[in-house]
A and B are shown apart, each in its own frame.
Chain A
Amino acid sequence: MTIELIILIAVVIFVLYVLFVYNSLATGRVRIKEAFSGIDVQLKRRVDLVPNLVSTVKGYTKHEKEVLENVTKARTSLMNARTTHDKADSDNMLSQALKSLFAVSENYPDLKASKNFLELQEELSDIEAKIAYARQFYNSNVRSYNTTLANFPSGSLGRMFGFKEGEFFEAEEEEKKPVSVTF
């Protein structure tokens, strides 16, 4: 009688624990998805602004075809990127291309004085800051989800239910520098 009771209690506790692990992992997965859409919104804003910038710059410059082509190429690859990794990579590419575009624009005083150009430049740097913040939020969600998956025994249970580790939205070293300078 008492042994049966103990077994029953143990089973109930185990079932409750499994439910708890499942629910916290499922919630974590939803939060990661939500946080990623936060990045996506900003990436899309950036993609939408680039053609505007390219046509403005084209009006003022003659010899910078290559720089502009790089920007357009990076934009296209960002538009076509589907996975987290591809998006992070092509976003990084676009950041680099835009940086060299803005560096080149220093040689054209008329361009630098253009109100339209200045507005675009300001908006793009605002988007870049927002992407950095959205990435920080996304990565912190991924981190806490992955921690649950790495711990024992929650991790083994999670894998049994088919939960996979979340992927960080990572920037390469070169892109990290300007972000830290903004503080």
Chain B
Amino acid sequence: MTIYSQISSNKTKSWLIIILFVAFITTIIFVYGKASGYGLSYAGIGLIISGIMSFASYYYSDKIVLGMSHAKQIAKRDSPELFRIVENLCIATGIPMPKIYLINDSAPNAFATGRDPKHAVVCATTGLLQKLNKAELEGVIAHELSHIRNFDIRLMAIVVVLVGLVALLADFFMRSLWYGGGRRNSREGGSAQGIFLFIGIILAILSPLIATLIQLAISRKREFLADASGVLITRYPEGLASALEKIGKDKEPLEVANNATAHLYIANPFKGKISGSWFANLFNTHPPIEERIKILRTM
């Protein structure tokens, strides 16, 4: 499997995930509509909202993420060494030069975002530039450029918005039950609505959880792929391995990261608890760093 066929399979997967999510969301909206008694007009509103949100996310997700992380765009003279590394690796990857942003934080970390290689951003923290040597920095940047070339950035941007939408709908439904109970349509009949009401409440509780689990599973898979294709660019697994080791050993959490952006970073920005139980692993945005290092060192 060449890198090009991996990219096209990733694009196909993006579409599959979007279709699955849209089906999931439509089902949720249908059930909520039945349960709250507003019928399908509720579903219509929901679809319009989701349409607008997906569209907006496609074009603006990178700006939102960069704004939330307090990242500033830098020019070549600000950090010539970083620029050279990105330039060189872009040539080796065959993608255009992305914009480069910097977060002023001493915790070492990095992420990539955007919608396609022509509109991509690589963002690093000042701590990353200070604490890593050149080979390690190359490993990290190659990992981020792989996210760009493999179209992971688009996939993850879309998934984040869809997950947010599911949570929004569930919240919307619970509130409408709370406040709109009196406006229920009595023609629907009591028992059928009762069943939908029951299913609706269960869904409202479970669906954000399910959506999040799907998101995290995708995110973890992408990390392994980006590690592997990043090494294909630098031809030096030890660079990324020792960079991950340094990032993992650094105990300082990244303040500007939050739940919505954590999965973007090359390693979990929260640090702290490392738990081996399968249940905790389900909720990890990243595969355990030790496992990634182990795989890199066998390459």
Residues of A bordering B, CB below 8 Å: 34-35, 38, 42, 126, 129-130, 133-134, 136-137, 141, 144, 183
**A130, B93: Cβ atoms under 8 Å?**
no
**A144, B135: Cβ atoms under 8 Å?**
no
Given known A130-B87, A144-B2, A183-B239, contact A137–B135 (CB-CB < 8 A): no
Tell me if B88 counts as interface (CB < 8 A to partner A): yes
Tell me if B91 counts as interface (CB < 8 A to partner A): yes
Tell me if B89 counts as interface (CB < 8 A to partner A): yes
Tell me if B84 counts as interface (CB < 8 A to partner A): yes
Q: Closest chain B residue to A182 by CB distance?
A: B134
Tell me if B92 counts as interface (CB < 8 A to partner A): yes
Tell me if B21 counts as interface (CB < 8 A to partner A): no
CB interface residues, B 113-148, toward A, < 8 Å: 135, 138
Q: Mind listing 7 A-B residue pairs with CB under 8 Å?
A: A133-B88, A136-B92, A137-B91, A137-B92, A144-B4, A183-B138, A183-B234
Tell me if B94 counts as interface (CB < 8 A to partner A): yes
**A126, B94: Cβ atoms under 8 Å?**
no
Distance of B171 from chain A, by nearest CB (Å): 47
**B88, A130: Cβ atoms under 8 Å?**
yes
In the complex, chain B residues whose CB is within 8 Å of the CB of A42: 91
Per the bound structure, the CA–CA distance linking A170 and B92 in Å amounts to: 16
In the complex, chain B residues whose CB is within 8 Å of the CB of A129: 84, 88
The answer, among A133, A141, A144, A183, for a CB contact under 8 Å with B91, is A133
Given known A144-B4, A183-B236, A183-B239, contact A137–B93 (CB-CB < 8 A): yes
Per the bound structure, the CA–CA distance linking A126 and B83 in Å amounts to: 11
**B92, A183: Cβ atoms under 8 Å?**
no
In the complex, chain A residues whose CB is within 8 Å of the CB of B236: 183
